Amino acid sequence: MRAAKNQSFLVRLRFACAGFAHGVRTEHSLRIQLFLFGLVLIALVVLRPGPVWWALVILASAGVISAELFNTAIEHLADHLHPDVHPSIRIVKDCAAAAVLVASLAALAVAAALVIHLVAH
């Protein structure tokens, strides 16, 4: 087992990159979110909104991707600790999935606000 405490920044960065890479390899939803984020970045380049809109869109997108990664971590931990179907574990997983849904809906709200702003100006 590796101890993450008191490691150098580069060692901890490698841990984080390994976690991200694992999520990309194993989670279809994360790959979809990353693909959509790529499309969003292209849209931002084409539409050229102001810096505040860039920040809002990137923060909202990062929130969705982070929620996906948290969801993956929680699912793996729950499955490891209790591999059998259990009502409490189901609730934990459902709540983690709901967090992704909430983040996604918030990102869609930011996108809608940006579209309304661009159409109005």
- pLDDT block averages, 10 residues each, the chain of length 121: 78 96 96 97 96 97 98 95 91 96 98 96 86
In this predicted structure, what is the pLDDT of residue 102? 98
Which sequence positions are flagged as catalytic? 68
Distance (Å, rounded) from C-alpha 30 to C-alpha 20? 10
Q: What is the largest CA-CA distance in the chain?
A: 56
In this predicted structure, what is the pLDDT of residue 2? 59
Structural domains in the chain, sorted by start: 9-120 (1.10.287.3610)
Report residue 94 as tokens: 């459902």
Query: 3 to each of 12, 15, 80, 81, 99, how far by Cα in Å?
Result: 10, 11, 19, 20, 28
Cβ atoms of 49 and 117 within 8 Å: the answer is yes
In this predicted structure, what is the pLDDT of residue 1? 55
In this predicted structure, what is the pLDDT of residue 77? 95
Please report how many Cα atoms fall inside a 13 Å half-sphere around the Cα of residue 68, on the Cβ side. 23
- Rounded to two decimals, the pTM is 0.89
Cα Rg, the chain, nearest whole Å: 17
In this structure, is the dihedral angle defined by the CA atoms of residues 4, 23, 92 and 81, taken in order, positive or negative? negative
